[in-house]
Structure 1
Amino acid sequence: MVTEGANYLVSIVTFLGAAIIVVPLFKKIGLGPVLGYLAAGLAIGPFGLALFTDSTTIIHIAELGVVMFLFLVGLEIQPKQLWGLRKYIFGMGSLQVLGATGALTAIGLLYNFSLQFSFIAASGFVLTSTAIVMQTLSYRNDMTSDPSRRIIAVLLFEDLLIVPLLALVAILSPAQTADSLQSHSLWQHIIVSFAGLALLIVAGIWLLDPLFRLVAKTKIRELMTAVALFVVLGSALLMEATGLSMAMGAFLAGVLLSNSSFRHQLEVDIDPFKGLLLGLFFLGVGMSLDLTHVLNHWKMIVSALFLMMITKGIIIYAVARATGSTKLQSLDRAVLMAQGGEFAFVLFSSAALQGVISAEVHANMTAIVVLSMALTPLFIVIYQKWIAPKFAVREVLENDVIEEQNDIILIGLGRFGQIVNHLLRASGFQPTIIDKDAKLVSGMKKRGIRSYFGDACHPDLLHRAGIETVKLVIVAIDNTKQATKIVQHIRQINPKAKIIARAYDRHHVFELAQAGANVQIRETFDSALRTGKQALTTLGIEQEKVHRIGNMFFGKDRHSVKLMADVYDPKKPMFTNADMLKIAFEQDEELKLEIQKILDEEI
C-alpha cells in the first residue's frame, strides 16, 4: 500500500516537474503555455521518455478542467445574454458545422474512403477543441468581446451535436438495424437529454442560490468551496448521464448562477482547480500522440492534417464574413478554430468499437486530431506576430455588435467614465459600456471590463443597446457637441429615461439641460470645490465651517444654474444675456451673505 501511494506521488511530482520546466520555457520564447504543456506531455509520455503509458485516463480526468472553465465562462453570461446569442448558436453554428462537414467529407472521398468513413471522420474533426479555444481566449483576457462570444456560441452548438452524432454512429453500426434504432434509441436519447436539461434548469433557478445562502450562514470557508465543486461536477455528471457533454452542464450551471450574489466567490473557489486541470489535460493530449504510427503513415497523415485544417479554416472564415464579422475577426476565428477537438476522441472510439470505422482509420484520425491540437498554438503565435498586424493596419474599424440590453448605458470610458463605471460595478450594477476609442476598449476588455467599440452618435448603435427601454443613461464623453447631440437623441427616443451627462463648463450645462439631460455634472466642479475648501482650511478657517460652506456653496450653485438654464439662449454671446447676468449677480450676493453668516458664528 505504501509503495502504491509512493508511485502515485512520483506520478504527481513528475507531472508538476514537467510543467514547471517546459511551460515557462515555451512562454519565454513566445510559443505560449498551451504548446508548452503539449510538449511536456509528449516528453514524458509513452513515445518520449515513457514515464507514463495511460494517457487516455489522464485526459478523461483532466477534462474536468474544461468543465470548470466552461462554468466560469457561464458565470460571465447572464440568461438574457445567452438568449441573445441564440441566432449565433443555432444559426451561425449550424452554418459552420454543416459547411465544414460537407467540405471535410469531400476530402475523405478524395482519399478513396467510403462515404460512411469520410462522414464520420469529418463529423469528428469539425468538433473544435473547447479547451484550446477557451484557454487561448483566457490568456488574451478576451472572454467578453463580441467576437469571442460568437466563438463560444459555436462551441455550444458543437457540444449539442454529441447526442445526435453518437446516435448516428449507433445507427450506422453493422450490428444494429437502422429501423429499430430510429424508432427507439434516437428518440430515447433526445427525450432523456431534454429531460436532463430541464432538470438542470429547474434546479438552477429554484435550488442553487438558496443552497449557497444556507451554506454561507455556516461561515465555513472550505464548505463553500466543496459546494461550489459539487454544483459544477454534479451539473457535468447530470449532462453526461443524459447523453450531453459535461462542459454543457457546467456552462449552464454557470449561466444560472450568473445573477447570484455568490458569483464572485464561486469564481475565486473554482479558478485554481480549473487552471491546474486544464494544464493536465494538455499534458494528456501531448502524451497520446503515437509517434510510431505517425512515422509509419506520415504522408497520408500530414497531407490530410493540413488539407483538413485549411479547408475547415476557409469555411469558418467564409461563415464569419457572411454573418457580419470583419476580415480580421474572421481570420482570427479561422486560425483559432481550425483544429479538431477532444470530443472527436469520443466519437472515433465509439465508431471503432461498433465497427463503423476500421482500426486504421481510428488511429489515423486520432493522430490527425492530436497533431491539429498541438499545431494550433504554434499557428496562433505565427498569426498574431506576423499576419494579424498587417490586416489590422488595413482594416477599417466597424462598430461592435451589441447583443446585451441592460438597464444602464454608460457612454464614454475615459478618465471620467472609468470612475463612474468602477463605482457602479462595485455596487453590483452592470452597465452596457460604449466608447469609440478602439485601443481603450481593447485594453479594458483585457482587464475584464466588457465594453463595446462604437460611436454613440449613430442611432443604430444605441438601438442595439436597447435605448428604447433603458432606465438610466450616463453620457461621460468630453466632446461637448457630440454629448449634446446624444442627449437630444436619447430624449426623443425614450422620454422616460433618466439622463446624467458630463458637462464641460457652465454653458454646456445649459445646453445639456435644454437637450433633456436630467442631471448635468461639470467635469471640474467637484475637484475645484475640494480645492477651494482645502484653501479655506489652509487659511485657518475651522474644519466644520469649511464643510458647511462647501455644502452651502454646492447647493447655491446648483440652484443658480437651474435658474440661468431657464433663460439661456445659445444664440446670444457670452456675457450679453441680461437676464442671466442679473441672476448671476443676485445669486453671488446671496452667496456672500450666507458664507459671512457661517464665518461670524461662534463654535
Structure 2
Amino acid sequence: MPLLTPILQDLLVIFSSSIIVVVVFHFLRQPALAGFLICGALIGPYGFGWVHNLDQVSHLAEIGVILLLFSLGVEFSLKSIRKMSRAFFGLGALQCILTTLLVTLIGKLFGFDWRTTFVWGSIVSISSTAVVLKVLHQRRESLTPHGQTSIAILLFQDLWIIPLMVLLPIIGAESDTTVFSTADFEDFILKASLFIAFVWFGAKILIPKTLKLVAKTRNREAFLMVVIILSAGMAFVSAQLGLSLALGAFIAGVMISESEYGHQAVADIVPFRDIFMALFFVSAGMLLDYRIFTEHLGLIIAVTLGVFILKFTVTSTLASALGFASRLSALVAIILSQIGEFSFLLASEARRYDLITYEHSQIFLAATVLLMALTPVFVSFGPQFAATLGRYDILGKKIAKSIGSSASQLVEATALPLSQHVVIIGYGHNGETLANILTKTAIPFIIVEMNYDLYQKGVKAKMPIRFGDASQVEVLEHTNMESARLVVLAINDSRAIRQIAEQIKRDYPEIYILARCHYIQEAEAIEDLKLSDLIIGEYEMSFELFARVLRQFGYPISSIEEHIHDLQNESYRSLRTGLKT
C-alpha cells in the first residue's frame, strides 16, 4: 500500500485541480482542453510542483491515447465518409498534405533539418476535433454546411495521424547514428503484413464470435472487459510488431465498428476514455514551462499568428479551388485554424526519437494553448469576416461562374417561365422535397445551392439549379428575383439566413420571404428581420407530437386542428416577429 500512496496522491491533485479549472473555463466559455493544459502547467514541476511522479502519470496517460483512438475507430463510418467524400478525400487530404509540405519547406529555408520540419508540418496540419465539435455544438452549427464540411475534414485529420505515427519510428531511425537499411525496411514490411493478416483474422473470426458469445451472457461488466482487452491487446500486438500503439488501438475500433456491437462498445468506454484523456492533457501541460512566455513571448506570438494565417490561407484557397462557396470556405478555414489534440501525440513521439528539441516543444505547447483559447473568439467573428471576404473573393467567383454556367443553360432550357416563380435557397432535404412537389404541381422555380455535391445532385436530377452563394447580389440577379413570387430559405444556418435575408430585403423589399430554422433561440436571433413567414422546427415538432397524442385518445380531427391553431398563434406570437400564422 505505501508504494501506491504517491501515485494516488498525484492523481488526487490532478483531478481535483482539473475540476476547478474546467469549471472556471466553462464560465469563461473556453475549451476544456486548454484548461487541462493550463492546469498541468500550474501543478507541474515548472509551476507549484504538486505532482512528483511524472513518469507514472505519463504511463497512465498513454491509456487515454489508446482509448481515444479506439473510440475513434469505432465511430469511423464508411457510409458517412462516402456522403462527404469531396470534403473528406479532396479538401481534407489536400489540406493535410499541403500544410505539411509548406511548413517543411519553410523550415528548410531557415536551415532546419527536414525531419524536424516535417514533424512540425505534421503537427500544424492537424486541427482540434474536441475544440471544434464543442464550439459547433455550442453555436448550434453542427448541421450547417460549414459545420458538416469541417467535421469531414476533421475525420480525415484524425485518420491522417495514423500513418504519421507509423512514420515517426522510421524517420527517427534515419536521424539516429544507425542507418535505416533495406533490410530494416523489408523487416518493417514483413511485420506490417503480419499485422494485416492478424487484423483480417480478428475482424472476420475472432472479434465477432467473441463479442457474440459475451453478449449472450447479458453481463455488462464482461462485455466492457472484453472491449478493453481487445483495444489494449491490438495495441500491444501492434507495438510488438514495431508499429505504433495508436495504429493498433484504432484498427481494433474499426473492427468492432463493423459488428453490431460498436455503439455499445463506445457507450461503455467513453467515461474511461474521457478520464484518461484528461489525464493525458494535464500531463502534457506539465511539460509547459511558464518561463517560456517571458523568454520567447515575441516568438510565441509570431508562431501563433503564423499558424493561423497559414492554415486559414491553405484551407480557404483549397476550398475555393475545389468549388466550395467563398463564405463557406472562409468559415471552415477559421474553424480549423488551431492546432489539435492529436498533435500532442505526435510531439511526444517526436521527442522520444529526438526529432524536435525541448525548446521547440515548449513554443509549440504555448502556441497550441493560445490557439485553442482563441478559437471561440475567431469563430464568433467568422460570419462577418466571411461575408466581407466573399465580396473580394475573385477565385471563388470565377469558379462559381464557371460551374454555374451549366446550371444557367439548364434553367434556360426548361419550359417553365421564370416569372411569378419560387426561388429556393438550399437543396438539402427540405429544398429537394419542395422542388419535387413544385415540379409535380407545375409551379416554376429555381434553386440556388452553394454546396457543390448538392448542386451536382440537382443537376443529375435535371433540376433548374444554380451554383453560388445566395448572400451575394451577383448570384441573386441570375434568379430573376425581381419577378419572383416568393423566396424560400431552406437552409440550416441561422447566420446565413440573416445575411441572405438582409441582402434580399435590401434589393427586393417587396418580395415574400419564407424561412425555416430548427430552434427557438435561432428564431429569436433573426426576429428583427421581420420575415414574411418563419417555420420553427422545435415548435412544429411539438405540435405534431401533441396532435398524435390526442389522436390516440380519439379526439376528432376538427378539435385537434383547433387546438393546434391556438398553440401556433400563442407560440409564434410570443416571438413578436409579426409572422403570419
TM-score by length of 2: 0.61
Superposition map of 1:308-347 within 5 A = 308-325=307-324, 326-337=328-339, 341-347=343-349
User: Which residue does 1:13 correspond to in 2?
Assistant: 12
Q: How many residues align?
A: 416
Identify the match of residue 148 of structure 1 among 128, 151, 161: 151
Distance (whole Å) between structure 1 residues aligned to residue 94 and residue 378 of structure 2: 25
Q: 2:457 is matched by which residue type in structure 1?
A: D
Structure 2: tracts of 5 or more residues without a match: 401-427, 433-448, 462-487, 489-543, 560-581
Superposition map of 1:505-524 within 5 A = none
By how many angstroms is 1:13 displaced? 1.5
Q: 2:111 is matched by which residue type in structure 1?
A: F
Distance (whole Å) between structure 1 residues aligned to residue 103 and residue 345 of structure 2: 17
Q: 1:342 is matched by which residue type in structure 2?
A: F
User: Which residue does 2:457 correspond to in 1?
Assistant: 460
Q: 2:152 is matched by which residue type in structure 1?
A: R
Identify the match of residue 385 of structure 1 among 368, 377, 380: 380
Superposition map of 1:478-557 within 5 A = 530=551, 533-534=554-555
User: Which residue does 2:287 correspond to in 1?
Assistant: 288
Q: 1:304 to 1:454 in 2, by over 3 A?
A: closer
**1:384-427 deviation line (CA, Å, top 9, x unaligned):** 223345537987999xxxxxxxxxxxxxxxxxxxxxxxxxxxxx
In 2, are the aligned partners of 1:344 and 1:369 still within 8 Å (CA)?
Answer: no
User: Which residue does 1:221 correspond to in 2?
Assistant: 220
> 1:204 and 2:203 equivalent?
yes
Distance (whole Å) between structure 2 residues aligned to residue 350 and residue 383 of structure 1: 34
> 1:368 and 2:371 equivalent?
no
By how many angstroms is 1:22 displaced? 1.1
The structure number with the bigger radius of gyration is 1
Q: 1:364 is matched by which residue type in structure 2?
A: E
In 2, are the aligned partners of 1:124 and 1:348 still within 8 Å (CA)?
Answer: no
> 1:133 and 2:132 equivalent?
no
In 2, are the aligned partners of 1:341 and 1:369 still within 8 Å (CA)?
Answer: no
**1:480-538 deviation line (CA, Å, top 9, x unaligned):** xx9xxxxxxxxxxxxxxxxxxxxxxxxxxxxxxxxxxxxxxxx99x96994895459x9
In 2, are the aligned partners of 1:74 and 1:253 still within 8 Å (CA)?
Answer: yes
User: Which residue does 2:120 correspond to in 1?
Assistant: 122
Structure 1: tracts of 5 or more residues without a match: 399-432, 438-451, 465-481, 483-522, 539-603
Q: 1:205 to 1:314 in 2, by over 3 A?
A: farther
> 1:160 and 2:163 equivalent?
yes
Distance (whole Å) between structure 2 residues aligned to residue 82 and residue 460 of structure 1: 17
Q: 1:74 to 1:350 in 2, by over 3 A?
A: closer
Superposition map of 1:223-238 within 5 A = 223-238=222-237
Distance (whole Å) between structure 2 residues aligned to residue 339 and residue 306 of structure 1: 19
Q: 1:156 is matched by which residue type in structure 2?
A: L
TM-score by length of 1: 0.59
Identical amino acids, percent of aligned pairs: 22
In 2, are the aligned partners of 1:301 and 1:367 still within 8 Å (CA)?
Answer: no
**1:309-338 deviation line (CA, Å, top 9, x unaligned):** 533443343334434443244324531447
In 2, are the aligned partners of 1:100 and 1:312 still within 8 Å (CA)?
Answer: yes
Distance (whole Å) between structure 2 residues aligned to residue 31 and residue 462 of structure 1: 43
Q: 2:133 is matched by which residue type in structure 1?
A: L
Distance (whole Å) between structure 2 residues aligned to residue 228 and residue 244 of structure 1: 21
Q: 2:333 is matched by which residue type in structure 1?
A: L
In 2, are the aligned partners of 1:55 and 1:285 still within 8 Å (CA)?
Answer: no
Indicate the SS of the match to 2:4.
helix
By how many angstroms is 1:57 displaced? 4.9
Distance (whole Å) between structure 1 residues aligned to residue 248 and residue 303 of structure 2: 33
In 2, are the aligned partners of 1:38 and 1:285 still within 8 Å (CA)?
Answer: yes
Q: 1:231 is matched by which residue type in structure 2?
A: L
| Structure 1, 160-169 or 57-66: larger mean CA deviation | 57-66
User: Which residue does 1:541 correspond to in 2?
Assistant: none
In 2, are the aligned partners of 1:305 and 1:368 still within 8 Å (CA)?
Answer: no
Superposition map of 1:38-437 within 5 A = 38-55=37-54, 57-82=56-81, 92=91, 94-109=93-108, 112-116=110-114, 119-126=117-124, 128=126, 132-134=128-130, 136-137=132-133, 140-141=136-137, 142=142, 145-173=148-176, 175-177=177-179, 181-293=180-292, 295-325=294-324, 326-337=328-339, 341-352=343-354, 362-388=357-383, 390-391=385-386, 434-436=429-431
By how many angstroms is 1:241 displaced? 3.6
In 2, are the aligned partners of 1:335 and 1:379 still within 8 Å (CA)?
Answer: no
**1:265-320 deviation line (CA, Å, top 9, x unaligned):** 21221111111112112211211102345544555455345434533443343334
Q: 1:271 to 1:125 in 2, by over 3 A?
A: closer
In 1, are the aligned partners of 2:37 and 2:285 still within 8 Å (CA)?
Answer: yes
User: Which residue does 1:472 correspond to in 2?
Assistant: none
**1:182-228 deviation line (CA, Å, top 9, x unaligned):** 41223322442343234224312322222111112223221111112
Q: 1:53 to 1:103 in 2, by over 3 A?
A: farther
Q: 1:53 to 1:97 in 2, by over 3 A?
A: farther
Q: 2:158 is matched by which residue type in structure 1?
A: L
Distance (whole Å) between structure 2 residues aligned to residue 463 and residue 208 of structure 1: 42
Q: 1:381 to 1:390 in 2, by over 3 A?
A: same
In 2, are the aligned partners of 1:89 and 1:154 still within 8 Å (CA)?
Answer: no
In 2, are the aligned partners of 1:127 and 1:344 still within 8 Å (CA)?
Answer: no
CA RMSD across the alignment: 4.1
By how many angstroms is 1:18 displaced? 0.2
